[in-house]
Amino acid sequence: MLNFYAFPEAVRVVFSMLTVLSAGTAALCFVLLSYRFRQGLNHWFDNAAAFLVLCQTVINAALAAQVQHNIAGGFFVQSGYAVFRYAIFAALVAVVLLLLSIGRRLPDAVRARRVRHLKDSVVKPHIYVLWAAASFLTLPIMEVWTNRAFPISFSASLLILLVSSVWLSVMVYGELVTSISNLSVKQAMDSLSNAVLFYGKSGNILLLNSKMQELMLKTAGRVIYNGKLYLETVVAVSAEHRDTDSYLLRLSDGVWLFTVCKITLGRKTVTRIIAADVTEQDKAALLLRDIHNELELKRERLKALVESIESTCRSEELLRAKTDIHDEQNKKMIPLLQYLRYKELPDSETFDSLRTEVLRGIQKSGDDNRAGPKVMLDAIINQCSCMGVKKCLSGPLPPEREISEAFMQILLESAANAVRHGYACEVDAEITDDSRLVTLQVTDNSALPPREIIEGSGIAGMRRRTERIGGSLEIFTVPRFTLLVRVIRGMEFGE
């Protein structure tokens, strides 16, 4: 290196900058090679050789800096770092020899696969030889052999290392952006919408993406470099604990679901944490829960309504059966009551007939009602004759079956009440019908009640029948006991 002292200052400065640039490109090449996907020995050989070249360029820069420093101090000394320079050269030669020897000793199938990998790799075997030659040109023995020509040898070594590092960096970068590599894996993880983190047994973080770093800042206020500690932080602030491996974390700007899973990689076990943004799903779940609660409330109300309807239907059915039985009693018992009232006893044949008819009417209550209004009217006339009651009916039956049947039931009940309670012997009924209004007026010659009429089951039944066809019922006691039913057409059946 003594020959460099005779160079002009500008040349020495350019030479120093060349050594620094060579070291920088070698460092870039080493970093890019480290990001490649690991593929057996190729990866380790390439990284080892690139590291040795980096060391060689750093020593070259140190030698140039030593020359500049000595000139500034005004003294001249021999170049140093001899041991390191020989060691780096020996290591590069060893890498080349190992690469060639391992290829020869492998089985044919493995050797063929190894050769194919070497052909596909951007670092060719001749690059190793070129690096070893460049390192040999900077050895102290070359300084002795070449003497004044050593600066040329040293400069050639710098150019070889600089050009090869630049060329290899470009080639490796092209491989990284077009194939699977550690860099592409990291870039792919950073593009995920989920936050991902891997940590080892001791908690040291092996890999995390940018989304997880952002989430750490939101949850802990800083980036935590220990996976176990970060998981404990999440568990401490988690509002909902789903199970042993998942946690729901609610933040001011969203909801995150953390899932923890242990993964076995060879002999090692690592822990993976995935945090997914479930804000929309959580909103949907809350909405579904509210809808479910509302449906449950409506179901309970509907259940209560159904039970109320069933109870009402049972009451209506019991009331209908009671009314039918009451009507049958009126039909069959009133003649017997008339016999007893006038202190007359029917003969045994008549009495047996009345008893049989009463039992049969109770068992088949309601059958007569379905026989039609005309049949019912004939039955009422016959019944009144049996009771000794003079019956007078004027006016046509309404054409509507429902109104006619209701009128006949009301007429039968009113006649039975007149005979049973008022000792009547005459019953007059008048039906009037126009285009809109239909009326039924029943008048009897019963004795007037001594006090206000208390409606029993008979009058209550008539009132219900009237309301079913959309009519109204009124009772008058002056000058005679009168029952008046009015029905407006178009209002039947609750319209």
User: Tens digits of per-residue pLDDT, 120-164?
Assistant: 455 566 777 888 888 888 888 887 787 778 788 888 888 888 888
pTM as predicted: 0.43
Rounded to an integer, what distance in angstroms lies between the CA atom of residue 347 and that of residue 225?
A: 115
Mean pLDDT of the 102-111 span: 45
Q: Can you give the pLDDT at residue 181?
A: 59
Burial class (CB in 10 A: 0-12, 13-18, 19+), 194: middle
Is the bond preceding residue 8 a cis peptide, omega within 30 degrees? Answer: no
Mean pLDDT of the 261-287 span: 86
For residue 30, pLDDT over 60 is answered with yes
Q: Domain 311-494: give its CATH architecture.
A: 2-Layer Sandwich (3.30)
Contacts of 432 (CB under 8 A, 6+ apart): 395, 438, 439, 441
Burial class (CB in 10 A: 0-12, 13-18, 19+), 429: buried
Q: Can you give the pLDDT at residue 182?
A: 62
Instruction: Copy the structure tokens of residue 25.
Output: 């490109």
- Alpha-carbon radius of gyration of the chain: 57
Confidence at 291, pLDDT banded by 50, 70, 90: very high
Q: Can you give the pLDDT at residue 252?
A: 80
Decide whether 192-277 matches 311-494 in CATH topology: no
Rounded to an integer, what distance in angstroms lies between the CA atom of residue 315 and that of residue 312?
A: 5
Confidence at 424, pLDDT banded by 50, 70, 90: confident
**Residue extents of the structural domains in the chain:** 2-184, 192-277, 311-494
Residues of the chain with pLDDT > 70: what percent? 71
Mean pLDDT of the 363-375 span: 55
Mean pLDDT of the 69-84 span: 73
Distances 63 to 58, 420, 431 between C-alpha atoms, Å? 9, 140, 136
Mean pLDDT of the 344-359 span: 55
Distances 29 to 115, 124, 171 between C-alpha atoms, Å? 23, 14, 10
Q: Can you give the pLDDT at residue 105?
A: 43
Mean pLDDT of the 28-45 span: 74
Question: Is 294 or 414 the better-scoring residue by pLDDT?
Answer: 294
Instruction: Copy the structure tokens of residue 294.
Output: 């509302």
Q: What is the DSSP letter of 459?
A: H
Q: Can you give the pLDDT at residue 184?
A: 67
In CATH, what number does 192-277 get? 3.30.450.20
Smallest Cα–Cα separation from 485: which of 470, 323, 23, 48? 470
Rounded to an integer, what distance in angstroms lies between the CA atom of residue 404 and that of residue 386?
A: 23
- The number of beta carbons lying within 10 Å of the beta carbon of residue 230 is 23
